[in-house]
Amino acid sequence: MVYNITLYLSLSICVFGLMYRIFRWFSLSIGPDVEGESAAGRMRTACKTMLRFFFSRRILNFLKIFFVDSLFQTRLFQTSKARWLFHILLFHAFVLLVFMHAMDDQITRVLFSEYESTLNPFMFLRNLFGILVLLGVVFFILRRIRQKPFQKATNRTDLAAILILSSILLSGFLLEAVQIFSSPIFDEMVLEYMRTDDPEETAPLESYWAKEYGVVFPKAVDIGQPERISAGQMIHEENCASCHSRPESAFVSYPLSIHMRSFARALNSIRADIWLHYFHFIICFIGLAYLPFSKFFHMISIPLNLMIRNGESRPEEDDPNNAVKRSIGMDACTHCGVCSLHCSVMPIYRVTGNPNVLPSEKLLSVKKIASGKPPDKTGWTAVSDGNFACTDCFRCTKVCPSGIHLHDLWQASKKELERRDHGKSDQLIRKRSASQWEGLFEKYDIPGSPDPDDLLLRNMAPETFSACVQCTVCSNVCPVVSLPVSLSSPEITPQQVMNLLRLDMKELAMGSRMVWDCMTCYMCQEHCPQGIRVADILYELRNMGADRLQKVRLMESVSSEKKADSDSASERNKK
């Protein structure tokens, strides 16, 4: 009764969890191009696309991708042969273990009419599949410990999934080991199949099972008399042989039972087999209920992602299913860290320590934004810096074993950040004039004078620009100034920037568009008759402005939160 209640409860949680995860595919939004689409509209579009697809020739390519890319993980094979081997063994061994053992009444017994869990080759296969899954888990744990980028991509749900899976496997081996030497189980089987509990009738069988099957009885059993063993063998062949093979083929559980024989009688007396049985099945039910919320869900999302992408190298810009595909792609990420290892801007992470530079970590932030849960006050800047550090090299998408179009997600998230006023510094600067930025710097008391001991700002020392005679040579050769007004409006020219610096108006200078539009072509610096490092000064002004811009964004966020709290407090007081 308890078993059935627990099973149905965990199964219900699993089904509702799967429905929730699938519904989220149609409700998450990342990128302005999919803004305003309703979940119902996305479902209708997806259903129409599926109907057209199944009645087209593309279905053949769909089947190819399912068998080649999903079942045999060819993308992972191209990335790492060793990792592919352990992953393929873990995946297929786990699936076979579920089908053959967990669903033995529904599948194995239908395929093999004489199936019993205590017969060969089923005992051997059960141990083989179990040890392969356990070795795969150990391999991935060691891999993440040894390589630091993977540690950043490991979260609590990953650890919980590993703990649950390891507990299922270890408790399964331990349960089988205890069952091998369990005398209470032997007594139950004798009573059921021999229909007797007479000690004289069962004594030969006890001797035979103690010698050949490793059963440990409460009292010592004589296994030295050949006649007694022969009689026990005859009883065994008549009543037990059709359902029981010798346990040596259980090459993991049997050695474990041998090492546990010293305290086997104590375990038998407390019916450890029953307690382990309950623990094993409860942890299996927990794993079933946890499936939609853990890495186990990747068994669904990864094959689906590979198939819906249908082998396309780049996503279509006008695809009506882009929102759904992006959502499934975010769910298909295993945070394996391969994209981070191949990322072109990995050196930026090593210098800044911003985890959002790493693709595997950045995807977590993108998914959080798509879910309507923005980062904390300092998180927006970190997410923006990490996103816009991307060089669009497309390398992460090429190496992703799950076939996720990461480049498409980065492009969509960049546009989303720009829409939310968290774009690049040069884009934000253009939204205000230089005088407006100067006012903001003063409003939030953000200093603009560089540290005189900072060698990185050596070009901002007064002696570097005080020699400017305002001859306008730098402005005349500047390609930004020469652009038509309709294309660019730098507000002030390079020589005017130098003049602002001479007047100690650095805040006004760093807020001007000239500083951010500069292409660092060094034409101004090469032609300056006074030898002023104009381009270097503009570049350093840009760095200083970016730093102060982040502080302005933080202060504005804090100010808006305080205003919202004040407004809500006022409303409560009115009520």
The arithmetic mean of pLDDT across residues 76-92, rounded, is: 81
Structural domain count, the chain: 3
Question: Are the C-beta atoms of 345 and 387 separated by less than 8 Å?
Answer: no
- Confirm whether 48 is domain-assigned: no
Regarding whether 461 and 419 lie in a shared domain, the answer is no
* Residue scoring higher pLDDT (468 or 36): 468
Regarding whether 239 and 318 lie in a shared domain, the answer is no
- Nearest Cα neighbor of 498 from 471, 522, 527 is 471
> CB count, 10 Å around CB of 211?
17
Regarding whether 188 and 236 lie in a shared domain, the answer is yes
Domain boundary among 389, 423, 457: 423
- Confirm whether 271 is domain-assigned: no
| Mean per-residue pLDDT of the chain | 81
Which domain does 490 fall in, by range? 447-571
Question: Are the C-beta atoms of 93 and 133 separated by less than 8 Å?
Answer: yes
pLDDT of residue 253: 93
- Confirm whether 491 is domain-assigned: yes
Query: CA-CA-CA-CA torsion for 504, 508, 510, 512, nearest 10 degrees?
Result: -140
Regarding whether 452 and 419 lie in a shared domain, the answer is no
For residue 383, give Cα distances in angstroms to 328, 368, 391, 423, 557: 21, 11, 15, 10, 15
pLDDT in tens, 269-305: 999 999 999 999 999 999 889 988 887 888 888 888 8
- Confirm whether 129 is domain-assigned: no
pLDDT surpasses 50 at 236: yes
pLDDT surpasses 60 at 456: no
Regarding whether 479 and 376 lie in a shared domain, the answer is no
Regarding whether 501 and 465 lie in a shared domain, the answer is yes
Query: CA-CA-CA-CA torsion for 301, 305, 306, 307, nearest 10 degrees?
Result: 100
- Confirm whether 87 is domain-assigned: no
Token pair of 316, please? 């279509």
The arithmetic mean of pLDDT across residues 548-568, rounded, is: 62
Regarding whether 484 and 392 lie in a shared domain, the answer is no
pLDDT of residue 196: 73
Regarding whether 451 and 417 lie in a shared domain, the answer is no
pLDDT of residue 40: 86
Residue 75 zone, left/alpha/beta (φ > 0; ψ -120 to 50; rest): alpha
The arithmetic mean of pLDDT across residues 213-229, rounded, is: 86
Read off the pLDDT band of 312 (50, 70, 90). low
HEC states along 487-500?
CCCCCCCHHHHHHH
Q: d(Cα 551, Cα 450) in Å, to the nearest integer?
A: 15
Regarding whether 514 and 415 lie in a shared domain, the answer is no
pLDDT of residue 452: 43
Read off the pLDDT band of 30 (50, 70, 90). confident
Domain boundary among 388, 423, 458: 423
pLDDT of residue 434: 67
Q: d(Cα 32, Cα 419) in Å, to the nearest integer?
A: 7
pLDDT surpasses 90 at 172: yes
- Confirm whether 369 is domain-assigned: yes
pLDDT surpasses 80 at 327: yes
Interior CA angle at 125 toward 124 and 128, to 5°? 90
Regarding whether 554 and 482 lie in a shared domain, the answer is yes
pLDDT surpasses 80 at 462: no
Domain boundary among 259, 279, 298: 259
pLDDT surpasses 50 at 449: no
For residue 296, give Cα distances in angstroms to 91, 132, 160, 165, 300: 10, 17, 11, 10, 8
pLDDT of residue 458: 54
pLDDT in tens, 39-63: 888 888 888 877 877 777 767 777 7
Regarding whether 462 and 557 lie in a shared domain, the answer is yes
- Nearest Cα neighbor of 294 from 342, 249, 331, 266 is 331
- Confirm whether 170 is domain-assigned: no
pLDDT surpasses 90 at 254: yes
pLDDT of residue 426: 63
pLDDT of residue 450: 46
pLDDT in tens, 486-504: 455 567 888 888 888 888 8
- Say how far residue 361 (Cα) sits from the centre of its chain: 8
pLDDT in tens, 357-413: 888 888 888 888 888 777 765 577 788 888 888 888 888 888 888 888 888 888 888
For residue 414, give Cα distances in angstroms to 128, 278, 302, 366, 370: 47, 50, 24, 10, 12
Tell me if residue 404 falls in helix, strand or coil: coil
The residues near 291 (Cβ < 8 Å, ≥ 6 apart) are 14, 17, 18, 297
- List the single range of 77-81, 433-437, 469-473, 561-565 with lowest mean pLDDT: 561-565
Regarding whether 505 and 397 lie in a shared domain, the answer is no
Q: What is the CATH number of the domain that holds 546?
A: 1.10.1060.10
- List the single range of 74-83, 117-126, 200-209, 557-566 with lowest mean pLDDT: 557-566
The two most distant CA atoms of the chain are separated, in Å, by 119
* Residue scoring higher pLDDT (347 or 209): 209
- List the single range of 64-78, 106-120, 380-394 with lowest mean pLDDT: 64-78
* Residue scoring higher pLDDT (95 or 155): 95
pLDDT of residue 455: 40
- Confirm whether 442 is domain-assigned: no
